[in-house]
Chain A
Amino acid sequence: DAGVIQSPRHEVTEMGQEVTLRCKPISGHNSLFWYRQTMMRGLELLIYFNNNVPIDDSGMPEDRFSAKMPNASFSTLKIQPSEPRDSAVYFCASASYEQYFGPGTRLTVT
């Protein structure tokens, strides 16, 4: 198995632009999670899905952030418009019981 796949691995964008992060979970896993990691705040859960349905989005910072999971093998996290404070590493993880992380997307908003 290739593990959790995320793209892009690095993204540099200007403030105000739309950013879309992508995730392909491990086949057979029914839960998917989006996290954000910064030095100041550590590892934060943004949202998670169970069987493609959003269960808890209380960690989404504000309306600029949205996430979708149109099918069991794909999810997106979108930021529109992006701001410099959104700069962080964004991780996707999937689980059936144990949770496995992807390699992350390093986002820099200038």
Chain B
Amino acid sequence: GENVEQHPSTLSVQEGDSAVIKCTYSDSASNYFPWYKQELGKGPQLIIDIRSNVGEKKDQRIAVTLNKTAKHFSLHITETQPEDSAVYFCAARDTGRRALTFGSGTRLQVQP
């Protein structure tokens, strides 16, 4: 089955700096890659996703890149703000399966 690895497990940045979180996946059939943000006491919230026919997608301060050959994808947050502090999860899904396989999460802390 699919295996998703996520790095780093924790990340601390200064407000205004950029943050990058990286994930690798094992199943070359995976074609959908969402990212979730989880704040304390809440459920994971979908913040951006990318499909395998696209190499990059951007939404304001967040962007996701996908390298299908290397089987890795990354989340980029620019101009970080304290409210970006949360746990971020990457995930992958293949065409034959409805369920997502999640990475282990990255705790991002933005220092004011």
Interface residues of A, Cβ cutoff 8 Å to B: 4, 31, 33, 42-43, 45, 48, 50, 55-56, 91, 93, 95, 97-104
Contact = CB atoms under 8 A, between A and B. Distances in A.
Interface stretch (B13-21, B53-61, B62-70, B97-105): B97-105
Given A48-B98, A99-B34, A42 B105 contact: yes
A33 B99 CA distance: 8
Interface size class of B (residues with CB under 8 A): 10 to 19
B109 to A, nearest CB: 17
A56 B99 contact: yes
A98 B46 contact: yes
Contacts of A4: 43
Contact of B45 (A43, A45, A56, A101): A101
Interface of B: 32, 34, 36, 42-46, 49, 89, 97-100, 102, 104-105
Given A43-B89, A99-B34, A101-B44, A31 B98 contact: yes
Contact of B98 (A42, A95, A100, A101): A95
Contacts of B97: 56
Contacts of B42: 103-104
Nearest to A55: B98
Nearest to A99: B100
